[in-house]
Amino acid sequence: MIDERLMRTELILGKKGIENLKHATVAVVGVGAVGGYALEALARAGIGRLILVDFDVFEPSNINRQILALSSTLGQKKVLVAQKRVKEINPECEVVVKDMFITRENIDEILKLKPDYVVDAIDSIKEKCDLMEALQKANICFISSMGAAMKTDIFAFREMKLSKTSGCSMAKKIRKNLKQRGVDIDKIRCVCSSETPQNKPLLNSPNGGKAVLGSLPTVTAVMGLMLAHLVILGLAKGE
């Protein structure tokens, strides 16, 4: 019997593809601007088990680009809002919540949950590199987001090997960091834009943190949906 919620997806991916998705475990690390849109698509595709990793709460500045950020969710934990959203979409999905900031010391908490695929949507360079290094060593499939801030050309995003990226300052820093660690960047897949970042003024963070970078909801959405798309097709094919 066809599940009507997944009927249109099954027409594209086939019964075996849908079954593969239902039995898959995907971790989304970072459920903000990029990760939130990736999560939305993964949940709607019928992924059977989702691991949600984030430590933050929603703030007013998130509303311009984060699908889970609403007036009603301000001040709430991102992972808890994300969990509720997934359950509204697919009540049968098993959702594992990890309310934490990824570090080298706690990455094993994710690895021991045995994800089939990981969407890396965090933006802190060191921790992003720690995660990528650990996933590669554990032989776990993953795909990473590169920089989306200060970009406007959604058609400049491509899936590529990290070693082939250009025009992205985040990717450049990550390449350098991972090379120093001896990580094979030719084996790391990412979604990256080749667009030169817009030369716009930066704002100082109202909380005294790092500078605020301009961003568009369309740009982060496209990147997140591309990440999810690649994961969905890969898992459906049994890759």
| Domains recognised in the chain with CATH numbers | 4-236 (3.40.50.720)
Residue 48 has pLDDT above 80, yes or no: yes
Q: Report pLDDT digits (tens) over 125-181.
A: 999 999 999 999 999 999 999 999 999 999 999 999 999 998 899 999 999 999 999
Condensed to tens digits (0 to 9), the pLDDT of residues 203-226 reads 665 555 567 888 999 999 999 999
Average of pLDDT values for 12-25? Answer: 97
Q: How high does pLDDT run on average in the chain?
A: 94
pLDDT of residue 205: 55
Whether 11 shows a pLDDT value over 90: the answer reads yes
**What pLDDT, on the 0 to 100 scale, is given for residue 212?**
80
% of the chain beyond a pLDDT of 70: 94
Q: What pLDDT, on a 0 to 100 scale, did the predictor assign at position 60? A: 96
The DSSP annotation for the chain comes to: ---GGGHHHHHHHHHHHHHHHHT-EEEEE--SHHHHHHHHHHHHHT-SEEEEEE--B--GGGTTT-TT--GGGTTSBHHHHHHHHHHHH-TTSEEEEEES---TTTTHHHHTT--SEEEE----HHHHHHHHHHHHHTT-EEEEE---TT---GGGEEEEEGGG--S-HHHHHHHHHHHHHT--GGG-EEEEE-SPPP----B--TTSSSPBPP--HHHHHHHHHHHHHHHHHHHHTT-
Tell me which residue has tokens 């595709």: 45
239 vs 90, residue with greater confidence: 90
> pLDDT band at 202, cuts 50/70/90?
low
- Tell me what the mean pLDDT of segment 69-89 comes to: 98
More confident residue, 2 or 30: 30
